[in-house]
Structure 1
Amino acid sequence: MLQRPRRRCEGTAMGVIVLDLRPGLGIGPFSLGMPICEAFAQIEQQPNIYDVVHVKYFDEDPLKLDVVISFPDHGFHLRFDPWSQRLRLIEIFDVKRLQMRYATSLIGGPSTPATFVAVYAVFGPTFPGIYDKERGVYTLFYPGLSFAFPIPSQYTDCCHNGEAELPLEFPDGTTPVTCRVCIYDSSTDSKVGVGSLMNKASAPPLPAGSLYMEEVHVKLGEELWFTVGGQHIPFGASPQDVWTELGRPDGIHQKQVDQMVIHSASDPRPKTTLCGDYFYNYFARGFDILFDGQTHKIKKFVLHTNYPGHADFNSYIKCNFVIHATELDGAYHQDMNSSKSSITPGTKWELVKEILGDCGRAAIQTQGSTSNPFGSTFVYGYQNVAFEVMKNGYIATVTLFQSF
């Protein structure tokens, strides 16, 4: 698990912040189901509040564990599903560092301890919770919200048959203080608490017609096909065609000239770092389109997987592409569900080689700088497609072109 912190200058101090608690929905500016890029955007908008941020992920297999954005100063973190990269769980692990506001009441922080009695008073009666004997933790549940309370060993008798009298108070008159609060989607009626129960939290369903994680089908050497809107974008299409089908791009920039071309002695033309070709950037849909600067026709598509550990992480939404690697006939659109010869963002490089065959040695990609903290990647070329592969074997980008 890697951590990449953003550090603040020494000598600054951050007091306890107050965030609105929305059971089943989110906390403060963070909403369940939001893509990870939107969470980063919220963080960047309030750098004085979220000035120390840790990003944690499993570098060897980024699809195995959550991507976590942690705020150690404020005692909470955000857990994102590694495949969809959407927020599935908000976990407050140090309630003394974060004060939560629910309606007109405050709870948590150093001044208003989140005791069992206080929680019961603010959120009202509920059904008895679950006592985890192995962990010594009693979890109280509300729709989309849970509170975990550590139970001292001498008071385990207060939890008969895994349940307890509510509100929970010990014989000496004290009441337990919550050690963890979880906020999760309540539409599935799941009970999400500590330990393995946290794995039950999932991001809420996407609204009908959402373009997020839209499947983008690729027919090599021919076109992209978008499943939600039904658009077809073929090679050779014009900028006007793209605007009509996909709308205004998020950005437009000129392509840099390849470094080997710049230093070519056989080319008498003046050497510049830019050429006439230009990109349409669709950051919110996870891809770029390259146009020829003279013909103004599409010559390349670049699809991004947005895996943590890559230099472009958080620059693009993940593109949920499906590459149909075999030459399919007229049944192409009817055979979309066949995965035997399809490549997706979750396909590792070894399987790509099984599908397409060995293509030989890779070119080394350093993202333009030998000081790139994420290290180099490897580019493998085939007819009509090139794969940029990370050291962990996952695809970072896919470049589509037409071979002549």
Structure 2
Amino acid sequence: MLQRPRRRCEGTAMGAIVLDLRPGLGIGPFSLGMPICDAFAQIEQQPNIYDVVHVKYYDEEPLKLDIVISFPDHGFHLRFDPWSQRLRLIEIFDVKRLQMRYATSLIGGPSTLATFVAVYALFGPTFPGIYDKGRGIYTLFYPGLSFAFPIPSQYTECCHEREAELPLEFPDGTTPVTCRVSIYDSSTDSKVGVGALMDKACAPPLAAGSLYMEAVHVKLGEEIWFTVGGQHIPFGASPQDVWTELGRPCGIHQKQVDQMVIHSASDPRPRTTLCVDYFYNYFTRGLDILFDGQTHKIKKFVLHTNYPGHADFNSYMKCNFVIYGSDFGGSFHQGEGTAKRMITPSTKWEQVKEILGDCGRAAIQTQGSTSNPFGSTFVYGYQNVAFEVMKNGYLATVTLFQS
């Protein structure tokens, strides 16, 4: 698990924030189901509040564990599903560091202990919770919200069954104090808490017609097709065609240098020759489109996976592309048995080679150690497609072109 720490701003008071608690929906500016890029945008808008931020992920297998954005000074973190990169669970792991506002009342923080009595008084009656004997934790559930209470060993007999009575107070007159609060989508009626219960949290369903993670099918050497909107964008299309189909790009920039031209035996120009080609950047679709500066026609598509551990992480939302192996003639339609020969953002490089065959040695790509702390990537080329591969074997980008 790797962490990307941010530098603390001087003079920021720890634990001094109050966030609105929205059971089943989110907390403060963070909403369940939001893409990770949107969460980072909220963080960047309030740097004096979210000044210490850790990003944690499993570098070797980035799809195996959640991507976690953690705020150690404020005692909570955000868990994102590693495939969809949408927020599935919010956990307050140090309730004394974060004060929450529900309706007009406050709970948590250094001055308002989140005791069982306080929780019960604020949120009202509910059904008996679940006692995890191995962890010594009693979890109380409300729709989209749960509170975990540690039970001292001398009082475990108060919670001897899986569904125990509400432990409002112990025999000595004390009351349990919350050690963790979980906020999760309540549409599935799942009970989410600590341990194995944490895995039951899922990002809420996308709204009908949402373009997020829209499948983008690739017909190598010909075009790409967006399945929700139904747009077909072929090679050779003009900027006007692209605007009509996809709308205004998020950004436009000129390609300064064609670094790969040196590998073309038919083109004797020096590698440093300035290039008049230009990109349309569709960051929210995980897509760049390169136009020829002379003809103003599409010559390349670049599809981004947005994996952590790559220099472009958080610059693009994830492109959910689908590429079929050559055995299927570039067809958009998946037939029986084709799933094993599909290339998607989840496909590792070894699987790509099994589908398309070996392509020989890779070109090494780096942006320099200063601007890219994650090291080099490797670019492998086939007819009409090139794959940029990270050191863990996952695809960073896919570049489509016409040979």
Scaled by the length of structure 1, the TM-score of the pair is: 0.95
Q: What is the aligned partner in structure 2 of residue 364 from structure 1?
A: 364
Provide, for residues 221-251 of structure 1, a one-character-per-residue CA deviation record: whole Å limited to 9, x for no partner: 0100110011100000001110111111100
What is the one-letter code of the residue matched to 1:171? P
Q: What is the aligned partner in structure 2 of residue 137 from structure 1?
A: 137
What is the one-letter code of the residue matched to 2:349? W
Deviation at 1:342, TM superposition (A): 1.2
Q: What is the aligned partner in structure 2 of residue 119 from structure 1?
A: 119
Question: Helix, strand or coil for the counterpart of 1:50?
Answer: coil
Deviation at 1:368, TM superposition (A): 5.0
Is the Cα–Cα contact under 8 Å of residues 20 and 102 in structure 1 kept in the other structure? yes
Find the aligned partners of 2:313 and 2:336 in 1 and give their Cα distance.
28
Find the aligned partners of 1:236 and 1:133 in 2 and give their Cα distance.
64
Over aligned residues, Cα RMSD in angstroms? 2.3
Are the structure 2 counterparts of residues 167 and 150 from structure 1 closer, same or farther at C-alpha, using a change threshold of 3 Å?
closer
Deviation at 1:153, TM superposition (A): 0.6
Scaled by the length of structure 2, the TM-score of the pair is: 0.95
**Structure 1 residue 44 corresponds to structure 2 residue 36:** no
Is the Cα–Cα contact under 8 Å of residues 14 and 49 in structure 1 kept in the other structure? no
Q: What is the aligned partner in structure 2 of residue 402 from structure 1?
A: 402
Provide, for residues 135-176 of structure 1, a one-character-per-residue CA deviation record: whole Å limited to 9, x for no partner: 000000000000000000111111142333335210111100
- Summarize the alignment of residues 16-95 of structure 1 with structure 2, pairs less than 5 Å apart: 16-95=16-95
What is the one-letter code of the residue matched to 1:314? N
Q: What is the aligned partner in structure 2 of residue 284 from structure 1?
A: 284
Find the aligned partners of 1:338 and 1:208 in 2 and give their Cα distance.
27
What is the one-letter code of the residue matched to 1:31? S
Question: Helix, strand or coil for the counterpart of 1:276?
Answer: coil
- Greater shift, 9-18 or 330-339, is seen at 330-339
Deviation at 1:276, TM superposition (A): 1.0
**Structure 1 residue 242 corresponds to structure 2 residue 232:** no
Find the aligned partners of 2:218 and 2:164 in 1 and give their Cα distance.
56
Find the aligned partners of 1:273 and 1:112 in 2 and give their Cα distance.
65
Are the structure 2 counterparts of residues 383 and 370 from structure 1 closer, same or farther at C-alpha, using a change threshold of 3 Å?
farther
Deviation at 1:14, TM superposition (A): 3.0
Deviation at 1:331, TM superposition (A): 6.0
Are the structure 2 counterparts of residues 270 and 162 from structure 1 closer, same or farther at C-alpha, using a change threshold of 3 Å?
closer
- Greater shift, 345-354 or 268-277, is seen at 268-277
Find the aligned partners of 2:370 and 2:167 in 1 and give their Cα distance.
60
Find the aligned partners of 1:163 and 1:370 in 2 and give their Cα distance.
55
Question: Helix, strand or coil for the counterpart of 1:245?
Answer: helix
Are the structure 2 counterparts of residues 102 and 370 from structure 1 closer, same or farther at C-alpha, using a change threshold of 3 Å?
closer
Query: Tell me, which stretches of 5 or more residues in structure 1 are unaligned?
Result: none
Q: What is the aligned partner in structure 2 of residue 374 from structure 1?
A: 374
Provide, for residues 94-121 of structure 1, a one-character-per-residue CA deviation record: whole Å limited to 9, x for no partner: 0000000000110000111000000000
Is the Cα–Cα contact under 8 Å of residues 100 and 108 in structure 1 kept in the other structure? yes
Find the aligned partners of 1:141 and 1:342 in 2 and give their Cα distance.
42
Are the structure 2 counterparts of residues 149 and 273 from structure 1 closer, same or farther at C-alpha, using a change threshold of 3 Å?
farther
Question: Helix, strand or coil for the counterpart of 2:199?
Answer: helix
Find the aligned partners of 1:156 and 1:372 in 2 and give their Cα distance.
52
What is the one-letter code of the residue matched to 1:137? I
Question: Helix, strand or coil for the counterpart of 2:318?
Answer: coil
Query: Tell me, which stretches of 5 or more residues in structure 2 are unaligned?
Result: none
Question: Helix, strand or coil for the counterpart of 2:79?
Answer: strand
Deviation at 1:325, TM superposition (A): 2.3
Provide, for residues 43-102 of structure 1, a one-character-per-residue CA deviation record: whole Å limited to 9, x for no partner: 000000000000000000000000000000000000000000000000000000000000
- Summarize the alignment of residues 254-293 of structure 1 with structure 2, pairs less than 5 Å apart: 254-259=254-259, 274-293=274-293
Find the aligned partners of 2:217 and 2:238 in 1 and give their Cα distance.
20
Question: Helix, strand or coil for the counterpart of 1:5?
Answer: coil
Find the aligned partners of 2:215 and 2:267 in 1 and give their Cα distance.
42
- Summarize the alignment of residues 146-165 of structure 1 with structure 2, pairs less than 5 Å apart: 146-165=146-165
Deviation at 1:30, TM superposition (A): 0.2
Is the Cα–Cα contact under 8 Å of residues 348 and 393 in structure 1 kept in the other structure? yes
Question: Helix, strand or coil for the counterpart of 2:204?
Answer: coil
Are the structure 2 counterparts of residues 371 and 104 from structure 1 closer, same or farther at C-alpha, using a change threshold of 3 Å?
closer
What is the one-letter code of the residue matched to 1:151? I
Deviation at 1:336, TM superposition (A): 9.2
Q: What is the aligned partner in structure 2 of residue 300 from structure 1?
A: 300
Are the structure 2 counterparts of residues 6 and 336 from structure 1 closer, same or farther at C-alpha, using a change threshold of 3 Å?
farther
Find the aligned partners of 2:350 and 2:385 in 1 and give their Cα distance.
16
Find the aligned partners of 2:39 and 2:63 in 1 and give their Cα distance.
19
Find the aligned partners of 2:334 and 2:51 in 1 and give their Cα distance.
50
Provide, for residues 252-292 of structure 1, a one-character-per-residue CA deviation record: whole Å limited to 9, x for no partner: 00012134769x9x999999774210000000000100000
Find the aligned partners of 1:309 and 1:47 in 2 and give their Cα distance.
22
Are the structure 2 counterparts of residues 331 and 77 from structure 1 closer, same or farther at C-alpha, using a change threshold of 3 Å?
closer
Is the Cα–Cα contact under 8 Å of residues 250 and 282 in structure 1 kept in the other structure? yes
Find the aligned partners of 1:353 and 1:375 in 2 and give their Cα distance.
23
Find the aligned partners of 2:384 and 2:79 in 1 and give their Cα distance.
37
Report % sequence identity. Answer: 89
What is the one-letter code of the residue matched to 1:235? F
Find the aligned partners of 2:311 and 2:210 in 1 and give their Cα distance.
27
Are the structure 2 counterparts of residues 353 and 5 from structure 1 closer, same or farther at C-alpha, using a change threshold of 3 Å?
same
What is the one-letter code of the residue matched to 1:54? H
Find the aligned partners of 2:386 and 2:198 in 1 and give their Cα distance.
39
- Greater shift, 124-133 or 318-327, is seen at 318-327
What is the one-letter code of the residue matched to 2:71? F
What is the one-letter code of the residue matched to 1:60? E
Q: What is the aligned partner in structure 1 of residue 346 from structure 2?
A: 346
- Greater shift, 153-162 or 388-397, is seen at 153-162
Are the structure 2 counterparts of residues 166 and 269 from structure 1 closer, same or farther at C-alpha, using a change threshold of 3 Å?
closer
Are the structure 2 counterparts of residues 209 and 345 from structure 1 closer, same or farther at C-alpha, using a change threshold of 3 Å?
same
